[in-house]
Each structure stands twice: as C-alpha cells, then as structure tokens.
Structure 1
Amino acid sequence: MKSLFTALILIGCIAPIAAQTGIPQDSSKTLQLVEVKAYGQNRQLKEAGMAVSLITPTQLERYNNMNLLPAVNATPGVRMEERSPGSYRLNIRGSSLRSPFGVRNVKVYWNGIPFTDPGGSTYLNQFSFYNIRSIEIVRGPASSLYGAGTGGALLLSSRPEDFKAGADVQYTGGSYGLFNLNAQVRLGNAERNNIISYTRQSGDGYRDHTEFRRDIASWESNIGISEKQSLQTSVIYGDLYYQTPGGLTQKEFLANPRAARPAAGAFPSADGAQAAIRQQTFLAGITHNYAFSDAFRNTTTIYGAFSQIKNPTFRNYEKRSEPHFGGRSVFTYNKQLNNAALNVLFGGEAQRGFFNTKTFRNKGGRPDSVQTDDDINNWLYSAFLQAELQLKHNWVIQAGVSVNQSSISIQRLSSPNLPEQKRTYSSEWAPRIAISKKLIPQLLIYASVSKGFSPPTSQEVLPSTTEINTRLSAEHGVNYEAGVKSNWLNNSLYVEVNAFHYQLQNAIVQRRDASGADYFENAGSTKQEGIESQVRYNFLPRSAGFISNLQAWGSHTWYFFKYKNFKQVNTDLSGKQLPGVAPHTIAAGIDLNTKPGLYANITWFYSDRTALNDANSEYAASYQLTGFRAGWRKAFTSKISTDLYTGFDNLFNAEYSLGNDINAAGGRYYNTAPGRNFFAGLAIKYSW
C-alpha cells in the first residue's frame, strides 16, 4: 500500500478540470478556458500560482444531483461530511477539531456575498444542489483578502457563464424515500435577466430517526444599466427540517448501524427527545459594479440575512434568532508598465449581528421551562490591500495584507445580576506573499507564505453547555507552501502537486461532556504538514468516433497532522495525531461520453483509518466507496434537451461513519452513513 501511495504522489492525482454542461464538449479546449477568480487572479487554473480547486458543473453533475458532498470530496485537501441527511460539516486541510457541525475556520461567499455570518457560522445546508453552479476552494489561510479563516475560503456561484432564457424541470428519486424536484425559469437576455428557482428535497434517511425535508426558493437578477455599471441581486429562502439520530458507540454501531442513539441514564433516546433541527434562513444581497475607466473599477455588495433555528436535543431545547447585515467593497486598478503589468486590489468588509439564544428544558420535543436567555451582539471588520506584478520572463509576484478586528458581547437576560460578558479580539494583521514562474509553457512553479487567524464563533463562546466562555482565544498560524502545475501532451494531461507546512497556535478544540453537549478550549499548538496532488488525462482529445470523450482522473491527500505542544490537565498529548484527520484519502474516476449522448461516470474513494480522540486510543476503520452513474443526454432540437440517468452510491455496501463525533463522551463517535443506495432521474431543459 505504501508503494501505491508513493506512486500516486509522484504522478499526482486528478480532479476533473474540464467544464461542460448538458451536451459533452471538447474537454481539451475547455481545460484551457477554465478560469480562477480567487485573489483577483482571473487567470486559467493551470496558471494560477496558488493551491485552489475548481469544481465545475461537469463535476457536480456526475453524481446523484442531491448535494455537493461527493464532488467536494473528489478534490484534494477538502473534506465534507454528512452526519445525518441535511447535517453537513466542511473542513479544508483536515481540521475537524472545532466542527461538531457546520463550518468552522473557513470563510464562505455566495455570488460575492459574505455567507459566513458575523458570529462565524455558515449554514451550508441552506443551499440545494441547484443553487450552486461552480465552486472555488482556496486551500490554506486566506485571511489576507477574505478575513477570518485559518482553513481557507469557499467561493460559491450560482450564475451561469452564458445566460439562456428558458425553463428546466429536474426530478430524482431513489432509496430510503429519496425525492428531489427542481424547477427553474430564466427570463430576459444576457444584459437584463431574472432566474427564479424552487427545490424540494425529502427522504426517510438510512438510520432510524433521520427523516428530512428541505424547501429552497431563490431569485437572481442582472441589470446592465449602462456600459459602465450593472446591478445583480441574489435572494434565497430556505426552510429545512431534519431529525438528528445521535452518535453510537462502537458496540452499538457494530450491532445495528442503522439504529438511533438509545436512552442512556437520565438522557432520553433520540426518538424520545424528538431530537431534530428546524432551520429557516433568508438572505438578500445586491451588488453594484462600476467602471470609472478601463483601468479602475469597483464592486460593492450589501446584504441582510435572518436565520431562525429550533433544536430539541438530548439535554435541552434551543431556539436561536440570528439577524445580521453587512457588506464588502473591492476596488481594482490595472496599469500596464513598460515591461510589466501592475494590478492593485483594495477595499473592506464589515458585518454586524444581533443574535438571541434561548435554552429550555426539553419535554418530549417541546420547549418547557426557560434555562437561559442570552442576547449576543457581534461585529467584525476587515480592510485589505493586495498588489500583483506581472514581470517579463513569466514571473508573477503577489503581496497582500489585511487588518481585522472582531468583538462579541453576551448579556444573559435570564440572570439580570450577571454583568455583560464581552471580548474584543485585537487587530490581527494577516499578510500573504506569493511568487510564481512559468519555466516553460507547460510547467508552472509557485511558492507562498501566508498568515491566517480565526476567532471563536458565537456558538463556541456560548456552546450547548450554555456556559459563557469569553476566555477562548483566537487561533492563528503561518503557512508555507510550494507547488507545481503542469500541462502536457497538447493539454491532454494535467498534473498538479503542492506541499505545505503549517503551524497553528491556540488551536480551538471541540470537547463533549457526559450529556453529549459541546464545549471548546484552546489546545496549544499543532504541526500540520501535507502533500496534495491531482492528475487528469484525456485519452481522446480530438475524437471524431463513437466515443467523444474518455477521461481518467484522481486526487490524493497525504497528511501528517500532529499536536506539537498540548497538555490536557496532567496528560501530555504532544506528538499525538490530530483526531478527525485521515492520513491518506484517494479519489479516482473514469468519465465516458459518446456522440449519441450516452455517458457513464465511475467513482472510487478511499479513506485511511482516522483517530477519534486526542489520546489516539480509538480509531475509525478505513473504508472504500464505489459509485456509478450512467445516462443519456440528448438534444432533440435546438431548444429542447433531456438527461435521463440512473446510478448507485456505495455500490458494495460498505459500513462506515461519515462525520465522526470527535472526543465524544462515552465513546459515541459513530454516525453511520447510508449503505448501498439507488437513484434515478430525468431533466428536461427548454430554451427560447
């Protein structure tokens, strides 16, 4: 197995980089046209001197059209988990230490709107599959431009590259009561248009007590006011309900992996507590683009959002109300010099939240007596400056820095004699320097140094134990990185390998008490090193035969993550492997398209065994997954096309946990993922 890993590192591993939608396209051509926008680079992926992954519609549509998870997990260095249907976790470069659920230490934007709230939380589960058209994942600290986040940044876009008026209807059904319906209408033209979409998803779930339902409605518009300015709006409303079955011990997992958490001691079972989450989120943002001249431009976004969460659990019933607003403004200036080009980017971002959290005694899934009532005010701001110099002989130097500050205050209304608890996280400077050089037209090398930081979220300062912890400090660290990108055989072969060394200070670590409630503490320092690689090969770059496109791809992540200096009471955990991080993960696949429209996608995924606690005394076993999708895409006329498909996930019925509860009290680590499951669907697209 070690020789296999070594070979994969040497040749790289691949992630599909061609962009195609609907009817198969010339993949060698689209490979050259793929463009990355992160850090304002606006250049082809193969020429972007940074560790960034781009997930296109082609990659998203090769799975079951239910969520983003399989496409995200096919990229190196990124891990998305689903503890139960609708409950997602996301981490970049392996840090699951502070993610009991949701997203931590990663900044997320949707259509340029800050989607991570000022409390530091990101509700990715409020998106349906159809609200995302492309994803850029910046791996490693991105604080120099995107503010708080030691893991990286996620740039989501729902807008099609080429607008075409029309209507789509797509349906997917499958195992465990799977139902997925999307309807979309596109009105207008390229200059002025509206896109209205509605999605309904539901299912019974694989485990007991895992029923879920999600309704998402969205509206997007683009108005070209003049040659100099335009307006875009993005509005989304999500109504989500899902049951939470709770973690199982290893004994319970082996005896019946489909079971929900049973009653234990004074705590009821998942069904007895009616453990679930009801979440409603509304977000509306407007973006104004203005060109002062050909060289000087501005993009300004303002937004308002509101989330309401009801969460009966084993120990209490929580209600959260989270209104917030904010904005981001970016100026860009481009200047052509004698033998160079200068690009300057500067601006700022600010957010303000007015949250309220109430906890009650849980009486069979209903709120009973009040335990705590807290008003939480939080704000943050970031100012940034970045300059890029493109020199002759294909040198590119990029340097940026941001200054950031955030604050949180908590007033416990249920204890009027308790003074307001407040913490301001002092100004953080986050610089980044990157340099790249194209040695030959087919080979690019790059290196960077960057600092990242991430203050604790509102839910970490006020966790489910309801104890206010303003002593919790922000984590921060410096990342050193180098990589190579190469493009050979007339764009048929793409290979990318990068290595990094990252030391994190004051790492925030999740703990769980005997009741299963989460709390957090700073855990000293960690040493995180890794190699991420991807490779992709197009066997038929210019095929005129029956097979129009045949590609093989794969990605490999190789991590060495350790506690560098960490003592828990009298126990020295220095040198222990970071829990929740698999040393090796591999994803690979084959994509086949034919001239008549028949296609097939095969995917294989491997995860190494993973430590479940800080002491490394228990591990989740390694596992392998195989998935398959086949279908027929057919354009009957220039206006009507269809996609009829079917497939399997977890074809060989592997038993594994997708989203282990790290450091869980009582050894309740396991959240069983679905076994073998089937899906089938039909999409009808009409354009006018």
Structure 2
Amino acid sequence: MHTTRDGYRVQTNMRRDNFTWQTKLTKEKYELTASVLFTDMYYQTPGALTLTEFNNDPKAARPAGGGFPSAVNAKAAIFQKNFLAGINNSFTISPSVKNNTVIYGSYSQVKNSAIRNYERRTEPSFGGRSVFSWRNSNTQTDWDIIAGAEFQQGYFNTQVSKNKNGNPDTLQTNDDIVTSNLSLFTQASVDLGKTWSIIGGFSVTKTKLELTRLSSYPVTTQSRTYRNELAPRLSVLKKINDNIHWLASVAKGFSPPTVAEVLPSTGVISTYLEAERGWNYETNFRFFLLKSRLKLELTGFFFKLDEALVQRRDAGGADFFINAGDVKQKGVELHADYSRSFSGNIISKFNVRTDFTYNHFRYGYFVKGTDNFSGKTVPSVPSAVFAILAEVYSYQGIYLNTNYYTASSIYLNDANTAKAEPYHLLGCQLGWKKREKGPFRIKLYAGIDNLLNEKYSLGNDINAAAGRYYNAAPNRNYYLGIAVQWLKQSN
C-alpha cells in the first residue's frame, strides 16, 4: 500500500509504503501461519509552536531561536524502515490440551534529522512465545488453565551527530544497547454453573538493559536489571440474569522503562529510572436489552500508580523522563452499542456506538527541586471525552459512516499553567465494497475530516521548554482511496 500526503503545516510531507504477506497451512492437528510486514516511511517533523505562534499562523513550522535552527533549515524529518517476520504454530496435543508457539524477528532502521542533532538507529531483535492450554468441561464446572513464557532479545546501536543542514556532521555519541526480557505467566478460569466465572493468574517479568558508550574513553558499560515481584490479577463475573452481568477485577502491574526512556533524545543515559508499579481496581455492569441488539456498559476504575514516568522536553525539543512519585487515576466509562440487521433490498445493517469517559487523574506526592506538583492534574489527559459512530450498510456494498468526537481542555505542563482548548470533530465516509467470490476484495471510499473546520492542537509536546506545546491539526480536509486485497488460503 502506498500513501502520500503534502501535510497541513509547513514541513509535514509524508510518504509511506507498506507490504504485508500471510500464508496459512491447516492440517488435522496443527495450523501453521507465516507473516511478513515491511514498512518504508518518511515524514517531516515541523516542531511545536508557542501559543503566540500557534494563534498567528498555525501552519508554520518551528522557527529558528535559542541557538537552534528552524525545522525547515534543519530539514527535520524521520526516515524509518521496519521489517517484521513471524511463524505461528497452533498444535492440538489432545482434545483437552493445546499449544500455541510463535517465533518472530524484526529489524528497524531509523534516521531522525532533528533541530538539535541527527540520530541514526539500527534495532535488530528476535523473540518467541509459547503457551500451553488445558480445558476440562463437565455438566457443572468448566476449567481453563494456561501457562507460558515469552523471551525477547535486542541488539541496538544509536549514533547521534551534529545536524548540518539535514545531514550528519560531527559524531557526538555512539551507544550499543543490549536488551532482554523474560516473562513467565499462568492463568486459571473456572465457570461455576451458569452464573459465576472466576479468573485468576499471575506473571513474573525480568528485564535487563546494558548500555555501552563507545564514543567516550575509557569505554564503560552501564546496566540495570528490573525484577518484577509477583504480579497477581483476579476477576469475578456474576450473571445476575440473562440481561445483567456484573464484573469486578483487581490487578497489579509492573512496567520497566523502555530503551527510548533510558536513552532519550537528549543522549543522557538514564539507568537511574525506576519501573512503574501499581494496583488497578475495576467494577463493571453490562446490560443486554432489546433482544441483545442494545448493549450498555458502565465501568468504574481506580489505578494507583507508583514511580510514574513523566516526559519532559528541553529547549531543543529533545525529550527526557523522570519518575513522578505516585499518580492516582480514577474515572467512569460509559459505552453503548446498538446493532440491527434488516431483511430487504436496500439496507442490510445499521450500527451505532457511543462512548463517554470521565477522568480524574491527579499527582500524589510529586516534588522536583523547588517545584511542588502534588495534587496537580496530570497533563495531556482530558477530564471528559465523548465519541459516537453511526454506520449504515446496503446489500449493494455501499456504506456510510459518520463520527463525532469531542474532548475537554487539557493541561500541557505539570504546573497546570498552560492549556489546550477543547475541540469538536465531525467526519464522514462514503464507500463501496465489492463482495464477489474469489480471492480479490476491492474497496473504494471518500470522506471528510474535521467537517466543522475546528482550529485545535493535537499531539501536544507536554512539559516542553519555552512554552512550545502546540502542534496544529489540519482544518477541514478531504480524502479518497482504493484498497485491494488478495486472499488465498492453503489447506
């Protein structure tokens, strides 16, 4: 698939080429699937604007200033090539025991021409995952047990040079990164009659990072190992009746810093970062009405996150991360889904989906130097989000969908002194899908985004220096396309 776009702002051209291939071989006791994905992408990066620059000319790219060139003069852009391949085997050992094993490998090559430097990364990696499952059923109780492991290994290299008009110049840093991750997990679920279901499990994860700075002498290696204490989870489902279900769950999470967080674009090795940990509590009610054509869900959640990783940006736009102590995340989610099929000559199906979320995300104790952010609202998270999607399908393959999305204002820094205003987005798409026998599927479509012509900022740079938070999104825009699929299954 080939995609190209001129972009709304200066320095926002984009080109992307995707190739995907998948084949499947099915036998009596096993199913073997092989997949390949290749992506070649180039996209320009305009840089964030101050509020004054955003209001004066939202299409502008970041200008020169503070000793840094403009995004245009730096030819700010990212060149990225990704290759991913994997083989998956599902094997039936016995009527009650099955195994699913996948082996995969990937290779990424990234060049990032930024206003402060020129970065080149190569990221080869491989991994595997194997899961055994056992199922036992009788008239009163159904048991399902799974157990497995996953291993990932990566050998990365990152070189950062001075940027001279969009080309690498003097080498600044050269780092080798070795990363490994091992996860062990198990889960058991039991259905007690027709009214109760219980699921319990736990996982253990070990992550190790080794970073060697080859450009500094003597050459030294910094390493950090993140060992996960037992991370349990438990959920209980009660079917009050055929139309009302209640679900409650509690789970402990563990997330070590990624390579991009330990070695951010500032080039400062940050093995001092701690892993995020937290407990999540949820309760959920599900209602099935109008012969299950209408489904309603009400969910409440509370997540206590310790050592939360928070992004910061320096004057050159480079990001780095710090641990922010604890964060309390609580909220309510509402979901409604109505679907109906018709027997006739015109309309075949009609769907409406709507979602509303209320978020109350606050820092607990968070003091950094002389700044006290305790009790402040976590930036980048809107307190309220509402979305609705309506779809109509005809027997002739013609379809129409309309979507509406709105989000409340968000804070752009930890101090809560800057905001991005709320916005309302309306879009629609008209298309046609060819439904004929054979391996080919054809889809033609055209649509409009931002029908209300809203001026808003999306993908904001949170905690950016000098108030450079704003990345203008496109005004009303139009698109059309064609998609062709060729499907073939081997037996």
Please say if 1:667 is aligned against 2:472. no
Please say if 1:336 is aligned against 2:137. yes
What is the CA-CA distance between 1:326 and the residue it aligns to? 0.8
2:104 aligned to 292, 299, 303, which one?
A: 303
Please say if 1:214 is aligned against 2:16. yes
1:476 maps to what in 2?
Answer: 277
Contact 1:281 1:308 in 2 (8 A): yes
Please say if 1:547 is aligned against 2:344. no
Relative distance call for 1:209 and 1:430 in structure 2 (3 A) is same
Contact 1:626 1:651 in 2 (8 A): yes
Q: Which AA in structure 1 matches 2:18? A: I
Contact 1:593 1:600 in 2 (8 A): yes
1:239 maps to what in 2?
Answer: 40
Please say if 1:223 is aligned against 2:39. no
What is the CA-CA distance between 1:548 and the residue it aligns to? 3.1
Alignment of 1:378-397 (within 5 A): 378-397=179-198
Contact 1:242 1:277 in 2 (8 A): yes
Question: For the residues of structure 2 that align with 1:464 and 1:681, how far apart are their CA atoms?
Answer: 36
Alignment of 1:483-494 (within 5 A): 483-494=284-295
2:384 maps to what in 1?
Answer: 584
Q: Secondary structure at the match of 1:631?
A: strand
What is the CA-CA distance between 1:547 and the residue it aligns to? 3.2
Alignment of 1:306-455 (within 5 A): 306-337=107-138, 339-455=140-256
Question: For the residues of structure 2 that align with 1:276 and 1:687, how far apart are their CA atoms?
Answer: 35
Question: For the residues of structure 2 that align with 1:686 and 1:414, how far apart are their CA atoms?
Answer: 49
What is the CA-CA distance between 1:317 and the residue it aligns to? 0.6
2:59 maps to what in 1?
Answer: 258
Relative distance call for 1:642 and 1:458 in structure 2 (3 A) is closer
2:453 maps to what in 1?
Answer: 653
1:607 maps to what in 2?
Answer: 407
What is the CA-CA distance between 1:364 and the residue it aligns to? 0.6
Alignment of 1:120-139 (within 5 A): none
What is the CA-CA distance between 1:543 and the residue it aligns to? 4.4
1:150-207 CA distance string (max 9 Å, x none): xxxxxxxxxxxxxxxxxxxxxxxxxxxxxxxxxxxxxxxxxxxxxxxxx111111111
1:49-105 CA distance string (max 9 Å, x none): xxxxxxxxxxxxxxxxxxxxxxxxxxxxxxxxxxxxxxxxxxxxxxxxxxxxxxxxx
Question: For the residues of structure 1 that align with 2:487 and 2:221, how far apart are their CA atoms?
Answer: 58
Question: For the residues of structure 2 that align with 1:232 and 1:537, how far apart are their CA atoms?
Answer: 35
Which consecutive residues of structure 1, in runs of 5 or more, have no partner in the other structure? 1-198
Please say if 1:562 is aligned against 2:352. no
Question: For the residues of structure 1 that align with 2:310 and 2:398, how far apart are their CA atoms?
Answer: 48
Relative distance call for 1:684 and 1:367 in structure 2 (3 A) is closer
1:516 maps to what in 2?
Answer: 317
Relative distance call for 1:645 and 1:463 in structure 2 (3 A) is closer
What is the CA-CA distance between 1:385 and the residue it aligns to? 0.9
Whose radius of gyration is greater, 1 or 2? 2
Question: For the residues of structure 2 that align with 1:684 and 1:502, how far apart are their CA atoms?
Answer: 43
What is the CA-CA distance between 1:216 and the residue it aligns to? 1.4
Question: For the residues of structure 2 that align with 1:640 and 1:322, how far apart are their CA atoms?
Answer: 35
Q: Which AA in structure 1 matches 2:261? A: E
Contact 1:209 1:270 in 2 (8 A): yes
What is the CA-CA distance between 1:363 and the residue it aligns to? 0.5
Question: For the residues of structure 1 that align with 2:121 and 2:480, how far apart are their CA atoms?
Answer: 37
Contact 2:228 2:254 in 1 (8 A): no
Q: Which AA in structure 1 matches 2:37? A: I
Question: For the residues of structure 1 that align with 2:288 and 2:163, how far apart are their CA atoms?
Answer: 58
Q: Which AA in structure 2 matches 1:304? A: G
Question: For the residues of structure 2 that align with 1:246 and 1:639, how far apart are their CA atoms?
Answer: 44
What is the CA-CA distance between 1:545 and the residue it aligns to? 6.0
Question: For the residues of structure 2 that align with 1:685 and 1:306, how far apart are their CA atoms?
Answer: 25
Q: Which AA in structure 2 matches 1:205? A: G
Please say if 1:204 is aligned against 2:33. no
Contact 1:601 1:628 in 2 (8 A): yes
Relative distance call for 1:645 and 1:351 in structure 2 (3 A) is closer
Q: Secondary structure at the match of 2:72?
A: helix
Which consecutive residues of structure 2, in runs of 5 or more, have no partner in the other structure? none
Contact 2:66 2:315 in 1 (8 A): no
1:273-296 CA distance string (max 9 Å, x none): 111111111111111221110100
What is the CA-CA distance between 1:517 and the residue it aligns to? 1.3
Question: For the residues of structure 2 that align with 1:627 and 1:550, how far apart are their CA atoms?
Answer: 18
What is the CA-CA distance between 1:549 and the residue it aligns to? 2.8
Contact 1:573 1:614 in 2 (8 A): yes
1:605-664 CA distance string (max 9 Å, x none): 101000000010111000000001123445578888754432210012111111110001
Relative distance call for 1:457 and 1:686 in structure 2 (3 A) is closer
Contact 1:405 1:428 in 2 (8 A): no
Q: Which AA in structure 2 matches 1:441? A: D
The structure that is strand-richer by fraction is 2
1:294 aligned to 70, 92, 95, which one?
A: 95
What is the CA-CA distance between 1:428 and the residue it aligns to? 3.0
1:78 maps to what in 2?
Answer: none
1:215-274 CA distance string (max 9 Å, x none): 1112211112x3112211111111111110000111111111111111113100001111
Larger CA deviation: 435-444 vs 475-484: 435-444
What is the CA-CA distance between 1:686 and the residue it aligns to? 7.9
- % identity of equivalent residues: 44
| TM-score (norm: length of structure 2) | 0.96
Relative distance call for 1:686 and 1:299 in structure 2 (3 A) is closer
Contact 1:497 1:533 in 2 (8 A): yes
Q: Which AA in structure 2 matches 1:214? A: R
Q: Which AA in structure 2 matches 1:512? A: R
Contact 2:263 2:270 in 1 (8 A): yes
What is the CA-CA distance between 1:420 and the residue it aligns to? 1.2
Higher relative contact order (CA 8 A, sep 6+): 1
Question: For the residues of structure 2 that align with 1:483 and 1:506, how far apart are their CA atoms?
Answer: 27
Question: For the residues of structure 2 that align with 1:598 and 1:354, how far apart are their CA atoms?
Answer: 48
Contact 1:492 1:541 in 2 (8 A): no
Question: For the residues of structure 2 that align with 1:640 and 1:383, how far apart are their CA atoms?
Answer: 41
1:497 aligned to 273, 292, 298, which one?
A: 298
Q: Secondary structure at the match of 1:615?
A: coil
Larger CA deviation: 413-422 vs 669-678: 413-422
What is the CA-CA distance between 1:541 and the residue it aligns to? 4.1
Q: Secondary structure at the match of 1:251?
A: helix
Q: Which AA in structure 2 matches 1:305? A: S
Question: For the residues of structure 1 that align with 2:422 and 2:25, how far apart are their CA atoms?
Answer: 51
What is the CA-CA distance between 1:556 and the residue it aligns to? 0.8
Q: Which AA in structure 1 matches 2:333? A: E
Question: For the residues of structure 2 that align with 1:232 and 1:597, how far apart are their CA atoms?
Answer: 30
